[in-house]
C-alpha cells in the first residue's frame, strides 16, 4: 500500500508536534508490549446509542477483535489510524460482524454517543456497509479508559496548551477470549497483514483451507512489524541447513582421517 503525499505530510507534522513536546513529555507517549495479557472484560463503556456495554459483550469467545484507541474529534492521527483500518479490511475476504468485529474506544471522557454514531456512520459510508453491531464506537469515563489503555500498553497524555491528546498510532488484535495476540504500531496496515493477524488471533478458526495454508507461508517479524514471506524463511532455513550439513561433512572427514591413521598404525605394528 502506497502512502499518499498528504498522508506523508501528516506523518511528518505529527512527528514534529510530538517531538515538540520536549523530552519531559515524550516519555508519556508510547506502546508497551503487553502481548499475551488478557484484557479486563468487565470494563463498562457506552455505545453509539447511549447503551451501557462491556467488553465481554463483544469479546465473548466467538470471534477475534480489531481494537483501537482514538478520540473522535482528533484533528490528525486518530483519523489516519481509523482510515488505515478501513483500508486494510476493505477488500478482506472475511465477513465483518461474522468472522471478526472491531471496537474503537475514545480516550476522551468528554466525548458522547452522538460523536460515536457520527464516526460510525462516516466509516459505514466510506466502506459501503452497515456497521451497526460490527464496528463499535464507544465512549467511557476516565477510570475505565485508563484501565483499558494500561492493559493495552497504550501511553498518551492530554496537552492542555493544544487542547489535544498526544499519542502514538497502534492497532491491536485480540483473540476471542480477550488475550492480546498482536499489535501493529502504525496506521498503514496491508490487507495481508490484517488478514494473517486475524487468522492468528482466531487460532485458525477464521479463513478457508487455502487461507490456512497461506498462513503457514508467512511468519510475523517483530522487527519489521509485519508478516514476512515463506521465501525469506526458506532462505534463512536453507542457510542454517547448509551450516549443519557442512558441519556433518567436516565431522565425517575427521572421523575418516582418524580411521585411516588407525589402519596405518595397525599395519606398522604388524
Cα–Cα distance, 91 to 191 (Å, whole number): 7
Report pLDDT for 20. 46
Q: Where are the beta strands (DSSP E) in the chain?
A: 30-31, 44-46, 52-54, 65-70, 101-106, 135-138, 154-155, 157-159, 164-166, 171-174, 180-184, 218-221, 226-229
Pick the range with the lowest mean pLDDT from 80-84, 185-189, 248-252. Answer: 248-252
Q: Is 244 a residue whose pLDDT tops 80?
A: no
Contact in structure between 145 and 105 (CB atoms under 8 Å):
yes
Phi and psi at 58, nearest 5°, equal: -110, -45
Q: Average pLDDT, stretch 3-19?
A: 44
Name 45's bridge partners. 53
* Residues 117, 123, 135, 82, CA torsion sign: negative
- The CATH number corresponding to 5-216 among 3.40.50.300, 3.40.50.1110, 3.40.30.10, 3.90.1750.10 equals 3.40.30.10
Name 102's bridge partners. 66, 135
Report pLDDT for 1. 42
pLDDT tens readout for residues 146-165: 999 999 999 999 999 889 99
Tell me how crowded residue 163 is: count the other CB atoms within 10 A of its CB: 9
Domain residue extents for the chain: 5-216, 229-270
Are β-strands 180-184 and 101-106 bridged in parallel, bridged antiparallel, or unpaired? Answer: unpaired
Cell numbers at 149, concatenated = 489503555
Q: Average pLDDT, stretch 103-117?
A: 97
pTM (2 decimals)? 0.74
Query: Percentage of residues in the chain with pLDDT exceeding 90?
Result: 56
Looking at residue 60, the DSSP 8-state letter turns out to be: S
Cα–Cα distance, 29 to 170 (Å, whole number): 12
Residue 49 CB-half CA count within 13 A = 5
pLDDT tens readout for residues 49-68: 999 999 999 999 999 999 99
Cα–Cα distance, 151 to 76 (Å, whole number): 24
Distant-in-sequence, close-in-space partners of 77: CB < 8 Å, separation ≥ 6: 10, 14, 167, 169, 187
pLDDT tens readout for residues 194-214: 998 998 888 766 655 556 656
Amino acid at each position: 500500500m502506497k502512502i499518499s503525499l498528504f498522508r506523508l505530510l501528516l506523518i511528518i507534522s505529527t512527528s514534529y508536534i510530538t517531538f515538540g513536546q520536549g523530552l519531559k513529555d515524550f516519555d508519556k507517549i508510547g506502546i508497551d508490549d503487553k502481548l499475551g495479557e488478557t484484557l479486563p472484560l468487565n470494563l463498562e463503556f457506552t455505545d453509539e446509542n447511549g447503551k451501557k456495554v462491556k467488553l465481554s459483550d463483544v469479546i465473548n469467545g466467538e470471534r477475534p477483535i480489531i481494537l483501537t484507541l482514538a478520540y473522535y474529534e482528533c484533528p490528525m492521527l486518530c483519523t489516519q489510524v481509523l482510515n488505515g483500518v478501513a483500508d486494510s479490511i476493505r477488500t478482506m475476504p472475511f465477513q465483518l460482524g461474522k468472522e471478526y468485529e472491531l471496537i474503537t474506544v475514545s480516550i476522551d471522557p468528554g466525548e458522547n454517543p452522538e460523536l460515536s454514531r457520527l464516526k460510525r456512520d462516516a466509516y459505514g459510508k466510506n466502506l459501503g456497509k452497515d456497521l451497526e453491531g460490527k464496528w463499535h464506537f464507544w465512549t467511557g469515563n476516565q477510570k475505565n479508559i485508563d484501565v483499558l489503555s494500561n492493559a493495552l500498553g497504550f501511553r498518551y497524555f492530554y496537552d492542555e496548551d493544544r487542547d489535544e491528546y498526544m499519542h502514538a498510532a497502534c492497532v491491536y488484535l485480540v483473540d476471542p477470549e480477550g488475550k492480546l495476540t498482536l499489535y501493529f504500531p502504525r496506521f498503514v496496515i496491508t490487507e495481508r497483514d490484517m488478514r494473517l493477524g486475524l487468522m492468528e488471533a482466531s487460532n485458525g478458526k477464521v479463513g478457508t483451507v487455502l487461507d490456512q495454508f497461506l498462513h503457514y507461508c508467512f511468519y510475523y517479524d517483530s522487527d519489521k512489524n509485519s508478516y514476512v514471506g515463506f521465501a525469506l524463511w526458506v532462505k534463512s532455513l536453507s542457510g542454517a541447513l547448509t551450516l549443519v550439513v557442512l558441519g556433518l561433512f567436516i565431522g565425517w572427514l575427521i572421523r575418516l582421517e582418524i580411521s585411516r591413521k588407525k589402519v596405518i598404525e595397525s599395519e606398522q605394528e604388524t
